[in-house]
A and B are shown apart, each in its own frame.
Chain A
Amino acid sequence: MAELRVKGTGTLKLFENDNTSSVTIASPASLSADKTITLPDADVTLVSGTMNDATNLSGNIPVGNLNSGTSASSSTFWRGDATWVAVSDTNTFTQTGTAYFDTSPASSTVAIDNCFTDDYNFYVVKLFVLPSTNAVGISMQYRDTSGTVESDTKYQYASRFFSDEGVAGNNEDKDADKIVLTNGASSREYDGGLMGTFTIRLNRDLAGAATFHQVGTYGVQDSNSAGNQRAYFHSSLFEDSNSGSAVASGLQWYTESGNMEQANIKVYGLVGSAS
């Protein structure tokens, strides 16, 4: 095998005055596989040219090599203008609770504990629940930090609905032990269950007493057999006078009669809403 060796320091130049020629390290076609050029552990400067076989490039560029790593941290990212910038989560939502089930066994209740904290004042709840029994009511209650249901007379609510045949109606109560969202929802999955969105404002003082104000819109088909669509506009209050450690911090939903077949509930806190 032929071998070309340069001993000593200096620069090896090929075709110094000819910019039309290429340097090719060739291998017999029978060897097929790509060959490797191993460079010494030293700086390599690409004066010009394009790396056009990106699939063979791998590894990471050290953070310190990107703008010297200035401002690089776990909360910054490398942006297109070649600077490290902080991730901005202002006015975004962070998920604080979730519940999802769509398979047997059916459940009596679906609950999410500790999804309300002092980190946020505004929350959004996306709600879907499906009863196992046709045309039954669906209600909502708060739970404290230990999972105990808040069933005292601390709720007041008003819902106005109208149906696809023009009939309007109300659900309302004062000093109630729960919030009744609807008095009837179809149990067929493709009728939609009860689906809607609530905005909740949590206003808690230093002693732990709080008011939860819910405003929401939601809809149901009120029965399986030739039921009607009902559109609801809802407002409610829950006053938590608990000054102990077990303050209201979660929610539960349940059917007034019969089990619950499915649920998909997400709770989000609005970043920056506590101040």
Chain B
Amino acid sequence: MVKVWKIDEVSQNKFVNNEIIPLTDAEKQAILARWNSYEAGSPTRKLSEIRSLRNYKLQQTDYFSLNDMTLTDEMKSYRKGLRDIPQNNTTEEQYDLLLARDEQGNLTNAIWSKP
């Protein structure tokens, strides 16, 4: 769910040359527009992060594809699952599930678990 900021959440001030200076209404509106524009791009940023993770996980198992290595069915399935992440996950809710972590910072979605 993309967050939508409201005008009363924008700070009343900016900090310039070590002084607190009140923002004008126009400045607050511009800041609000910037914040909400940034939030609108949240799904794109999450997908980018997922792609980085996916590529890293694939690189870690690339060596299984060498001729003198045996690629098990589990490994084939794992790598296919990684490659298919973008096409199988298209909503921000799905992105959040893919990026979920436990308290130790470990990814919790089973798709990241290497066999």
* A167-B53, A169-B49 known; A226+B103 contact, CB < 8 A: yes
The answer to whether A109 has its CB under 8 Å from any CB of chain B is yes
- A97→B18 CA distance, assembly (Å): 9
Q: A183-B45, A228-B105, A257-B39 are in contact. Are A107 and B20 (CB under 8 A)?
A: yes
CB-CB contacts below 8 Å: A60-118 with B: 97-101, 105-113
B38, A108: Cβ atoms closer than 8 Å: no
Docked pose: A113 CA to B9 CA in angstroms? 26
Shortest B21–chain A CB gap in Å is 9
Determine if A256 is an interface residue (Cβ-Cβ < 8 Å).
yes
A213-235 interface (Cβ within 8 A of B): 225-228
Number of residues in B with C-beta < 8 Å to the partner? 33
Verify B15–A258 contact, CB threshold 8 A.
no
Contacts of B38 in A (CB 8 A): 136-137, 256-257
Once A167-B53, A256-B35, A257-B5 are accepted as A-B contacts, the answer to whether A109 and B102 lie under 8 Å apart by CB is no
The yes or no answer to B17 lying at the interface (CB within 8 A) is yes
**Chain A min CB distance to B115 (Å):** 19
A109 near B14 (CB under 8 angstroms)? yes
Given contacts A169-B52, A256-B34, A258-B35, contact A111 B16 (CB under 8 A): yes
Chain B residues proximal to chain A, CB less than 8 Å: 3, 5, 9-18, 20, 23, 27-28, 31, 34-35, 38-39, 45, 48-49, 52-53, 56, 101-106
Q: Show the binding face of A for B, using Cβ within 8 Å.
A: 97-101, 105-113, 136-137, 147, 165-169, 183, 225-228, 256-260, 263
24 inter-chain pairs at a CB distance below 8 angstroms, sorted by A residue, are A99-B18, A100-B18, A101-B20, A105-B13, A107-B15, A108-B27, A108-B28, A110-B14, A111-B14, A112-B17, A113-B16, A136-B38, A166-B56, A167-B52, A167-B53, A169-B48, A226-B101, A226-B102, A226-B104, A226-B105, A226-B106, A228-B105, A257-B38, A258-B5
